[in-house]
Structure 1
């Protein structure tokens, strides 16, 4: 039975992936940061473990347990992450640092901690990126930058891990039904203060936070698509799934920059002087 470890399984994409891979016959190790979420995962029958992806001690304990139990790991899905929303200068360096800690640095840390297990099993690393790393938008600069970094790191890991028989696949979701938007809206509210120069555009900031729920693909459909991609031979380097996952990168590639800027400025209320 193939073993898969998935980070960020409390809800949304992560939980759907855990359900889908288990139903397909995998031994699923489902991780989450909050104890109450771990309890729910355990009650659902998963090998549930508490994991803060930024905690090196948590990672070391998890790697040791997997080593003792299986001696290898077939699939690692780096899914844990969140979206920092709001004007880039309002959030400042601290917001960008926190965004990269979870979305970027943790991806490297988790993969590094489990490298020997993946090597032994000649396994697969799946990194969940986003089309937001390809088509950059206002009021999501830190998030877009973090996902662009995930794309670059995935390309690097694919090349550097190949000699060890480890495959790397990046997934760029479009709009997927999840709690991402509600979490992003709460985060945007914390960043955008009344004295912000962008306060008059607060409705547009919230609109960007909600954008991921614009005619979203279900998390279950996304998970089934990803499961199918992991079974392809050869393993695809890049997979795009969900509403907008193809159209938005095409816009970024083919629209002249000046036109694309105008479209985005109009969409998010940035055509008028403030």
Structure 2
């Protein structure tokens, strides 16, 4: 039984991941602003906390829960994401900031407060995007999103180096297109080749075993160009 913290669990991949870990006997701390979906799911292994990842007071609730109930974390999955699809000249500084708050700064903050509870053998998995991979095909309208996803890749590589002596693994999964609500909102006419459940299956297994084989690595998880 693992203690697993997952961000962005109100829908899509995060929601499916929380269910899968819980159904397989693991303890799940599910973090999202909207707690209703998982509260309705009502699984005994899932604790849901309403958290705005950009709010330091909300993050204190996370560390307090872990301190009072678990004392250690085996897996942290940084899954929460925000996507804005706008032409570059229409992107405001606030658009960039909003995207970076969720995709970069929140990853750094939640990881930082989890560090005291991560131990030898713990695995931090950050969900990025093929759009953040240097040399990959890029798509117009995603300047803020793709650049943020590139930044979080570099952050994870650095953390793997910084915490290698403690044997805490940090890896990134750069996903291709997955049919989630977030994708549908940004690209209403596009149909992705994978469902959120299918991708959650992959991430579930990688989170449990990937740290035996990888540290500081970026795995490209995409069967198509997008």
TM-score (norm. length: structure 1): 0.74
1:238 to 2:218 alignment: yes
Is the contact made by 1:31 and 1:38 (CA closer than 8 Å) also made in structure 2? no
Superposed, 1:45-124 pairs within 5 Å as 45=44, 46-119=46-119, 122-124=121-123
SS in 2 for 1:123: strand
What runs of 5+ residues in structure 1 fail to find an aligned partner?
185-208, 249-274
Distance in 1 of aligned mates of 2:65 and 2:174:
30
Q: Answer with 1 or 2: which has the greater Rg.
A: 1
Distance in 1 of aligned mates of 2:128 and 2:39:
27
Distance in 1 of aligned mates of 2:60 and 2:99:
23
Deviations 1:6-54 (A, max 9, x none): 000001010111122223331111121024345335x244211111111
SS in 2 for 1:74: strand
Is the contact made by 2:10 and 2:37 (CA closer than 8 Å) also made in structure 1? yes
Is the contact made by 2:153 and 2:218 (CA closer than 8 Å) also made in structure 1? no
Distance in 1 of aligned mates of 2:19 and 2:82:
21
Question: What's the offset of the Cα at 1:166?
Answer: 0.9
Question: What's the offset of the Cα at 1:63?
Answer: 0.7
| Greater helix share, structure number | 1
Compared with structure 1, are the counterparts of its residues 227 and 12 closer, same or farther at alpha carbon in structure 2 (3 Å cutoff)? same
Is the contact made by 2:128 and 2:149 (CA closer than 8 Å) also made in structure 1? yes
Is the contact made by 1:125 and 1:169 (CA closer than 8 Å) also made in structure 2? yes
| Greater strand share, structure number | 2
Aligned match of 2:170: 168
Aligned match of 1:219: 196
Is the contact made by 1:215 and 1:243 (CA closer than 8 Å) also made in structure 2? no
Question: What's the offset of the Cα at 1:139?
Answer: 0.9
Superposed, 1:1-274 pairs within 5 Å as 1-37=1-37, 39-41=39-41, 43-45=42-44, 46-119=46-119, 122-134=121-133, 135=136, 136-184=138-186, 209-210=187-188, 213-230=190-207, 231-232=209-210, 233-235=212-214, 237-244=217-224, 247=225
Is the contact made by 1:73 and 1:118 (CA closer than 8 Å) also made in structure 2? yes
Distance in 2 of aligned mates of 1:157 and 1:210:
36
Following superposition, which runs of at least 4 residues in structure 1 exceed 4 angstroms of deviation?
Answer: none
Compared with structure 1, are the counterparts of its residues 234 and 30 closer, same or farther at alpha carbon in structure 2 (3 Å cutoff)? same
Question: What's the offset of the Cα at 1:140?
Answer: 1.0
What is the RMSD computed on CA atoms of the aligned residues?
A: 1.9
Question: What's the offset of the Cα at 1:210?
Answer: 4.1
TM-score (norm. length: structure 2): 0.89
Is the contact made by 1:129 and 1:147 (CA closer than 8 Å) also made in structure 2? yes
SS in 2 for 1:84: coil
